[in-house]
Amino acid sequence: MSGTGTGSAGPGGAGPGGAQRFTVGCVQLTSSDDLQDNIRTASAAIRAASAEGAELILTPENTPFMSLRRSESLANAAPEESHPALLAFAELAAELGRWLLIGSSTVRLGPETCANRSVLFDPSGAVAARYDKIHMFDVEIPDGQTYRESKTFRPGREAVLAELPWGKLGMSVCYDLRFAALYRSLAQAGAAFLSVPAAFTEFTGRAHWHVLLRARAIETGCFVFAPAQCGTHAGDRRTYGHSLVVAPWGEVLADGGEAPGVVIAEIDLAKVAEARRMVPSLQHDRPFAPAGEALRQAGE
């Protein structure tokens, strides 16, 4: 587990400056296959969130570019240090003096390989943490769409914990949401907040999005910040929207609905300690034999 940044706090504790409250903003987009237009649109939404007082601003997965065509994704990819979108967003974070998490960009690792990378900028525009999506969305959806992320992306191998002025942030991306062990490990390592930038499909989102995000918040006693893509994209790809901010007890504090925009919520860090005090399940893990091992032993 890795991450860099400024200041830290234990689970549910105040940040280094003693701040117990801050304002978060989740940006909801309908990103297209036009890189420069997406940068302009996302930048305008980030400015709007900042103007509303958001001190931490998060954007969805695939903020700079969305296409179902692998060739187009590769053509618009670039190494992190020269990625036009990440360079623009670094400058914007510094201009606004805000913490800014760009949900994910296609970052080139080699001629035919990329990372689906979430990048956190500090208020000076420096990279505070980066996370490469671990779980690849290789799925055939009943609505007729097929996804094979593993053809383009190299899976990440490391959970990432970043330090914010108010506490620690556990980073993830979209399909990671279905793998609860990742979030439990982040919470037990000190995360008070979880980021889940996403481009959830409309079909799966209607069935599972709210339920899974609330479950991850309840299981970990963390705030969950989930900025999302919405609407119809290139290639008739459809995403669910409903950017959410969820409290540690499972309450939905903000819901972005189905249209592009910004949702704002005030975060009270004391709620983390309160939820974990009422149900201290993070302290109650017990060792057990995996199901397959138990069955094998029973048959011997």
Tokens found for residue 110? 């080699």
Provide the pLDDT for residue 3.
Answer: 45
Model's pTM, two decimal places? Answer: 0.92
Q: What is the mean pLDDT of the chain?
A: 92
Domain count along the chain: 1
pLDDT of residue 59: 98
Q: What is the DSSP letter of 163?
A: E
Reported confidence tier of residue 107, pLDDT bands at 50, 70, 90: very high
* Long-range contacts at 253-259 (CB < 8 A, ≥ 24 apart): 254/26, 256/26, 256/28, 256/227, 256/228, 256/230, 257/28, 258/230, 258/231, 259/28, 259/230, 259/231
In contact, 56 and 22? CB cutoff 8 Å: yes
Whether 5 has a pLDDT exceeding 70, the answer reads no
Q: Are strands 191-195 and 244-246 parallel, antiparallel or unpaired?
A: unpaired
pLDDT at 7 over 70: no
Q: What is the mean pLDDT of residues 111-130?
A: 96
Element (H, E) at 161: strand 160-164
Averaged pLDDT, 35-53: 98
Model confidence at 9, in pLDDT bands (50, 70, 90)?
very low
3-state helix, strand, coil in the chain (%, to 5): 35, 30, 35
For residue 295, the model assigns a pLDDT of: 64
Domain of 202 in residue numbering reads as 21-299
Q: Is residue 161 in a domain?
A: yes
CA angle, 163 as apex, 157 and 164 as ends, to 5°? 135
Both tokens assigned to 79: 């190494």
Of the pLDDT bands very low, low, confident and very high (cuts 50, 70, 90), residue 112 is confident
pLDDT band at 6 (very low <50, low <70, confident <90, very high): very low
Tell me if 179 is assigned to some domain. yes
Q: Is residue 264 part of a domain?
A: yes
Q: Residue 16 and residue 19: Cα distance in Å, rounded?
A: 7
In a domain, 3, yes or no: no
- Dist. CA 286–CA 139, nearest whole Å: 33
Q: Bridge partners of 193?
A: 169, 223
Of 45-49, 151-155, 247-251, the poorest mean pLDDT is in 151-155
Confidence of residue 184 (pLDDT cuts 50, 70, 90): very high
Question: Do the domain assignments include residue 113?
Answer: yes
With a cut of 50, say whether residue 1 has pLDDT above it. Answer: yes
Q: Which residue in 67, 50, 68, 51 sits closest to 59, CA to CA?
A: 50
Residue 231 gets the label, from left (phi > 0), alpha (psi -120 to 50) or beta, of left
State both tokens at 217.
């918040």
Tokens (6 digits) for 232: 């119809």
| Catalytic (active-site) positions | 61, 133, 174
Q: Rounded distance, CA 19 to CA 150, Å?
A: 41
Judged against a pLDDT cut of 90, whether residue 16 lies above it is answered with: no
> Given a cut of 80, is residue 17 above it in pLDDT?
no
Residue 89: inside a domain: yes
- pLDDT at res. 75: 87
Beta-strand runs (E) in 228-276: 230-232, 238-240, 244-246, 252-255, 261-268
Residue 13 forms part of a structural domain:
no
* pLDDT-derived band at 12, boundaries 50, 70, 90: very low
* Residue 145 pLDDT greater than 90, yes or no: no
pLDDT score for 298? 64
Q: Which residue has the higher pLDDT, 294 or 127?
A: 127
Q: Tens of pLDDT along 261-289?
A: 999 999 999 999 999 999 999 999 999 98
Tens-digit pLDDT profile for residues 212-250: 999 999 999 999 999 999 999 998 899 999 999 999 999
- Asked if residue 256 has pLDDT above 80, the reply is yes
Does residue 284 belong to any structural domain of this protein? yes
Closest residue by Cα to residue 193 from 149, 129, 127, 240: 129
| Domain CATH for 178 | 3.60.110.10
- Residue scoring higher pLDDT (65 or 144): 65
